Structure 1
Amino acid sequence: MTKRFALIDMGTNTFHLLITEVDESGKQQELIRTTAPVRLGQGGISNGSIAPAAYERALRTLRDFRKQIDEHEVDTVRAMATSMVRNAANGDDFIKDIYKQTDIRVEVIDGDREAEFIYYGVRAAGVLDEKTALVMDIGGGSVEFILCNKQEIFWKRSFEIGAQRLMDKFFQQDPISPENIAAEKAFLQDKLQPLTEAVAIYKPSVLVGSSGTFDTLCDIDALRKGDTSRQQKQPAASAVAIYDFYQIHQDLLRKNHEERLAIPGMLEMRVDMIVLASIAVDFVLEQYHLQEIRVSAYALKEGVLQKVLQEEGL
């Protein structure tokens, strides 16, 4: 008896839909994997509500997701909303409108649960081993950090310092000014104090970036080296050498919007936010003396799938 599952991740920047078929032996076949640049936080994240244009874009995207879910005769739908919705004054109305228009029930999850799901997703990608890793998931609204290895989570926390929030705060000119770079790092130093304390205890040696920004950094890195294999199929697990990351990072800081958009592998929906996200990655590497960057293409939705399969006994 095969079952079909649809997982929806309603992020602050992008919405994701994953439809997977699982047979009774637990073998998975991916049917649909799609990402939509909804920009739910645009124009509203800093004043705590979903702006009308973003609200409408989100509903339109979810109506489209519903169509794909129906076409694939899915058995179980799980939809998760994160930072933007959990902090928005009009978040409840938004959830009700989604249900009215699409019949999709959305679970608004807190940062702690989000971090836990991300861990299960990253673990399923096969990037964790015995070494203690610091997992970093950069969303538009929040950033999740998890100290873990492949067996267990030692510490986890979600911080409301996502790339859209950082952009509203520090992206005052393009290319970004050295003053703004320094200001972002000082802000992170302050906000990430609890992480700094946890890192001192658990001493991670590897940074594991999950999805989003990190996928784009891997795409750019591969194309710089003439490797086009990622364009055909994105691997679940990848790596970026520290040296290569810094080459790309310096490039992102030097260039303006148009020049960044021309970088092979760059996605239009990340072209500005990636500057702020890359500064955050640089800060974490430097601050916590991490020697290696691994990348998981799996994150929240894959983690939710792992939990659903566990519940179903598959």
Structure 2
Amino acid sequence: MITKKAAIIDMGTNTFHLVLVELFEDHFHTIYKEKIPVKIGQGGISRNTIHPDARKRALHTLQHFKNLIDGESITEVFAFATSGVRNADNGAEFVTEIKDRFGIDVQVIDGIQEAQMIYEGIRLSGSLNGQIALMMDIGGGSVEFIIGNSNEALWKQSFEIGGQRMLDLFHYHDPILGEEVENLTTYLEEKLVPLVEAIHYYGPTGLVGASGTFDTLTDIYYASLQQSKSRDQQTFQLPREEFERIAQQLLTLNKEERLNIPGMIPMRVDMIVVASCLIEYILKFVPVDTLICSSFALKEGAISRLMGKHSLAPVTTR
């Protein structure tokens, strides 16, 4: 059987991901994957710019990714940039520099396109069934919400309220102050009105979180059980009462103490506090007993499109 290799680069606001895969008609094999906390939004996201230091980190990481891609002799490279680049005044200039330096064409996708690809990644993970679920992906710049099931996405929207933005706006003290949590909650009440309306209309009965924060929350949960997560598994369950326990713990600890929590990784230690506050807020409207956590998200959505096609289909917005 003739296989095709491809590289997918997900240039998130907090983390850059690289996945090298072999593609088959109905499945894929991961050759290599890596994630690096580039934090392209750090120092500039609140001013709609990519800070020079963040740009340097990004270019350094992309050079590293390019070396790995060339090492596997992969020529099919699909790169996506999200909130941190699409909202930056110097984002287009940055994309041009990447093309000039590395020969990589970066597709800057809008929030609806991003939400659709996240949905396709979650669907590929097997996290969905016939019931209607609310899906969420907490990025550094934006948060995507999708309501749907394994057949279709019924509603989707992207909100520019990602972890780095919430961090910049509300998390000034460490541990976070009760007043800061209250201010963050008021902010979410204002920003997420369309989401709450959609939840009331569609009535989702499940909650699925995609990668990032949800990966780390399940890592912490499994570590508390003295278990490790299977690498072959894409879907994990986090009991709500365990999430509540972890979230309350995160509110009371400073950064150094959070780093000492078994299962915590340094790249998540800053944003996980405000991200957990966001999840707490969402649970008011989708009161589930168990959170479903999908390790697949946007990059696997891209892989889903590539499988059996061997060329990336246009990103649909419907």
Q: Do they fold alike, i.e. is TM over 0.5? A: yes
Count of paired positions: 311
CA distance in 1 between partners of 2:113 and 2:169 (Å): 26
Structure 2 CA distance for partners of 1:202 and 1:191, relative to 1, 3 Å: same
Q: Displacement, 1:312?
A: 3.2
Structural mapping, 1:180-259, within 5 Å: 180-228=180-228, 230=229, 233=231, 235-259=233-257
Residue identity opposite 1:245 in structure 2: F
CA distance in 2 between partners of 1:69 and 1:22 (Å): 15
CA distance in 2 between partners of 1:169 and 1:236 (Å): 33
CA distance in 2 between partners of 1:147 and 1:47 (Å): 31
CA distance in 2 between partners of 1:266 and 1:74 (Å): 33
In structure 2, what is the equivalent of residue 265 of structure 1?
A: 263
CA distance in 1 between partners of 2:27 and 2:94 (Å): 36
Q: Displacement, 1:290?
A: 3.2
CA distance in 2 between partners of 1:221 and 1:282 (Å): 16
Residue identity opposite 1:46 in structure 2: S
CA distance in 2 between partners of 1:49 and 1:123 (Å): 33
Equivalent of 1:283 in 281, 284, 288: 281
Q: Provide the aligned C-alpha RMSD in A.
A: 1.4
Deviations 1:263-288 (A, max 9, x none): 01111111111000000000001233
In structure 1, what is the equivalent of residue 49 of structure 2?
A: 49
Question: Is the Cα contact below 8 Å between 2:163 and 2:274 reproduced in 1?
Answer: yes
Question: Is the Cα contact below 8 Å between 1:132 and 1:205 reproduced in 2?
Answer: yes
SS state at 2:264 partner:
coil
CA distance in 2 between partners of 1:270 and 1:171 (Å): 14
TM-score (norm 1): 0.96
Question: Is the Cα contact below 8 Å between 2:26 and 2:308 reproduced in 1?
Answer: no
Q: 1:312 and 2:310 equivalent?
A: yes
CA distance in 2 between partners of 1:310 and 1:110 (Å): 25
Question: Is the Cα contact below 8 Å between 1:285 and 1:291 reproduced in 2?
Answer: no
Structure 2 CA distance for partners of 1:234 and 1:26, relative to 1, 3 Å: closer
Residue identity opposite 2:20 in structure 1: I
Structural mapping, 1:54-69, within 5 Å: 54-69=54-69
CA distance in 2 between partners of 1:149 and 1:17 (Å): 28
Deviations 1:90-120 (A, max 9, x none): 0011001111111111000000000000000
Which runs of structure 1 show a deviation greater than 2 angstroms over 4 or more consecutive aligned residues? 232-235, 287-292, 308-314
In structure 1, what is the equivalent of residue 94 of structure 2?
A: 94
CA distance in 2 between partners of 1:277 and 1:125 (Å): 22
Residue identity opposite 1:6 in structure 2: A
Residue identity opposite 2:234 in structure 1: A
Structure 2 CA distance for partners of 1:27 and 1:293, relative to 1, 3 Å: closer
Question: Is the Cα contact below 8 Å between 1:242 and 1:291 reproduced in 2?
Answer: yes
Question: Is the Cα contact below 8 Å between 1:145 and 1:158 reproduced in 2?
Answer: yes
Task: Give the unaligned 5+ runs of structure 2.
Answer: 313-318
In structure 1, what is the equivalent of residue 151 of structure 2?
A: 151
Question: Is the Cα contact below 8 Å between 2:41 and 2:140 reproduced in 1?
Answer: yes
Structure 2 CA distance for partners of 1:81 and 1:313, relative to 1, 3 Å: closer
CA distance in 2 between partners of 1:235 and 1:179 (Å): 39
Q: Displacement, 1:2?
A: 1.0
Question: Is the Cα contact below 8 Å between 2:23 and 2:308 reproduced in 1?
Answer: no
CA distance in 2 between partners of 1:224 and 1:289 (Å): 24
In structure 1, what is the equivalent of residue 32 of structure 2?
A: 32
In structure 1, what is the equivalent of residue 110 of structure 2?
A: 110
In structure 2, what is the equivalent of residue 171 of structure 1?
A: 171
Q: Percent identical across equivalent pairs?
A: 46
Question: Is the Cα contact below 8 Å between 2:18 and 2:33 reproduced in 1?
Answer: yes
Residue identity opposite 1:251 in structure 2: Q
Residue identity opposite 2:303 in structure 1: L
In structure 2, what is the equivalent of residue 21 of structure 1?
A: 22
Deviations 1:36-76 (A, max 9, x none): 11000000000110000000000000011011111111141
CA distance in 2 between partners of 1:69 and 1:40 (Å): 21
Q: Displacement, 1:235?
A: 2.3
SS state at 1:286 partner:
coil
Structural mapping, 1:3-18, within 5 Å: 3-18=4-19
SS state at 1:209 partner:
strand
CA distance in 1 between partners of 2:8 and 2:311 (Å): 18
Task: Give the unaligned 5+ runs of structure 1.
Answer: none
More helix by share: 1
Deviations 1:135-176 (A, max 9, x none): 010000000000000011110000000000000000010110
In structure 2, what is the equivalent of residue 70 of structure 1?
A: 70
TM-score (norm 2): 0.95
